[in-house]
Amino acid sequence: MTHTRCAKIVATLGPATTAEGTIEALARAGADVFRLNFSHGTHAEHEHHLRVVREVEERVRRPLAALADLQGPKLRVGAFMGGRVTLRAGDAFRLDLSPELGDESRVCLPHPEIFQVLDSGTDLMLDDGKLRLRVHEVQDGVAVTQVLAGGVLSDHKGLNVPNVVLPISALTEKDRRDLDFALSIGVDWVALSFVQRPEDVADIRKVVRGRAAIVSKLEKPSALDHLGEIIDLSDAIMVARGDLGVEVPPETVPIVQKRIIRACRSAGKPVVVATQMLESMIQAPAPTRAEASDVATAIYDGADAVMLSAETSVGEHPVAAVSIMDRILHRVQADEHYRAIVEAGRGDPENSAADAICAAARQVARTLGAAAIVTFTSSGFTTLRSARERPGVPILCFTPSAQVARRMALVWGVHGAACAELTDDIDMVAKAGALARAGGFAEAGQRLVIIAGVPFGRPGTTNMLRISWVD
C-alpha cells in the first residue's frame, strides 16, 4: 500500500480503537505511527494493540511504527472534604504536606521536593491552568499563596510550576516499569515526557541502549533554554502543546512551535506537532475551519508529523479524524506555493560527506526529473540526512533492519522497506529498481538517484551517489 504524502500522521490507540478492524481502517485511512499512551491502559492492552498493529502491517504492506509514550511525573494536589472547593480571587490558600482532607483554606501537595524550589512570587497553575496562585511565603513544607484566578478545584487536579526547573527526574518508577515492558514487546519509538534539561534525555538513552529511538516531548519552558542540546541528544522531538500551553502564555505557543520546528529542521531531526489538532472531532464528524488551518500551518512550517490524541483514542469518529487529516496534508502538499515555502526553510548542508551527497542527490533528482531518491542504510542515518534536504520526490529507505524501516514511518517524505544486505554495485542498482517498481514509486524507463555508503553495511559511511534507470 503506497501513499505519496510527505508529512506523516500519528494516531493514538485507546478504547475507541481496540477492534482489529478499526486499527486496520486507521492505517488504510493514512495513519503511519500508532501511539501507545502509557498514561492510560494496562500492559496487556498495549501489548494487544501492538500485536494488532504488526498484523495490520502485513496486510497493508508498508511499515507501521509503534510509539510508547511514557507518562512522566504528574504533580497533583490531594483530596478535599466533599470532593471539591471553590477558590476566590484574592483569598489566601495554603499548600502543605499534611495528608488531611483539604478545604477552602488549604490542601495537601504531596511532593516535598517542590517546596525546595518555590519562592515568593512564583506562580502556580492548577487544573490545566484554569486556576492560578501566587506564592507569598514558603517555610518548612508550607507554601502560603494568594488566589489570582479562582474557580472550582476538585480532588487530585494537576499542578504546574512554570519557569522553574523542578528537582524531579523525568523517569518515574512507573515510567521505568513501562519502559522495560515497551522495549520487551518491541516498540520502535519511546516518547519521554517532562523533559527539562539535556540530562533527562541522556538518562533514558542509557536505559534504552539503542533498542528504540527516543522522542523528547517539549512541554516545559525550561527545555527551551537547552533546545539545541536536547535536539542533539534526541532522535526526534514532539511539540507537546497541551502542557506547554499551560506553562507559557497562549500567544507564545505558536512562536515556540515555529522555533522548535525550525531548530529540528536545521538539525535534521524529525519533529511532531501534537495536542488538540482536531479536538472537536472527539464528538463531531468534521473539524472546525480553525483546526484544519492549525494542521495546515504545522505542515507549512515544516513538521514531519502531526498527532491525533483523544480524537482517535476515545473519540466517536477515529477513522474519519485520520481520513480528514490525510486530506488536509494532501491538499497542503498540492498547493502551488508549498514547494517554495519548503525550499525557503531549507538550511545549508553541514560540512560532511553525507550532507554533500544528500544535497547533491536532491539537486540531481530535480534536474533529471527522477522518480525517487533511493537510500540504502543500515542505521537510517543516510535517510534522515536526505529528508533534511526536503527533496521534491519520494525518499525510499531500503534497509536490512525492519525496525529501522518502521522508524522511518515518522520521517517526512520517507517510505521504508526491509530488504537483504547489498552485495555489490550491480545488486544495489537491481534492488533499487525492483523495489521502487514494486512499491509503485517508479516505472520502467524512469530514473532513480541512489545514495549509499561503501563499504556496504557500515553505519555512517554515506559516500556514494549513482543515477540508474528502472528496467
Q: What is the DSSP string of 39-78?
A: TSS-HHHHHHHHHHHHHHHHHHTS--EEEEE------B--
DSSP 3-state assignment of 7? Answer: coil
Of the candidates 142, 141, 143, 207, which has an alpha carbon nearest to the alpha carbon of residue 172?
207
Beta pairing class for 213-218 and 236-240: parallel
Is 35 part of the annotated catalytic residue set? Answer: yes
Query: 12, 17, 275, 377: which is the annotated catalytic residue?
Result: 275
Q: Is the dihedral of CA 227, 230, 235, 238 positive or negative?
A: negative
Element (H, E) at 115: helix 112-115
Tell me whether residue 134 is one of the annotated catalytic residues: no
CB 7 within 8 A of CB 32: no
Residue in 35, 157, 269, 406 annotated catalytic: 35
Q: Which residue has the cell 504492506?
A: 61
Distance separating alpha carbons of residues 329 and 335, to the nearest angstrom: 10
Catalytic, 76? Answer yes
Report the 10 Å Cβ neighbour count for 279.
Answer: 19
Residues 317/29, Cβ–Cβ less than 8 Å? no
Chain centre to alpha carbon of residue 448 = 31
Q: Which helix (H) or strand (E) holds 33?
A: strand 33-37
For residue 214, the one-letter residue type is I
Q: Which of 106, 132, 217, 241 is catalytic?
A: 217
* Given the residues 62, 74, 76, 262, the one annotated as active site: 76
Q: Is 262 a catalytic residue?
A: no
Question: Catalytic residue positions?
Answer: 35, 76, 217, 275
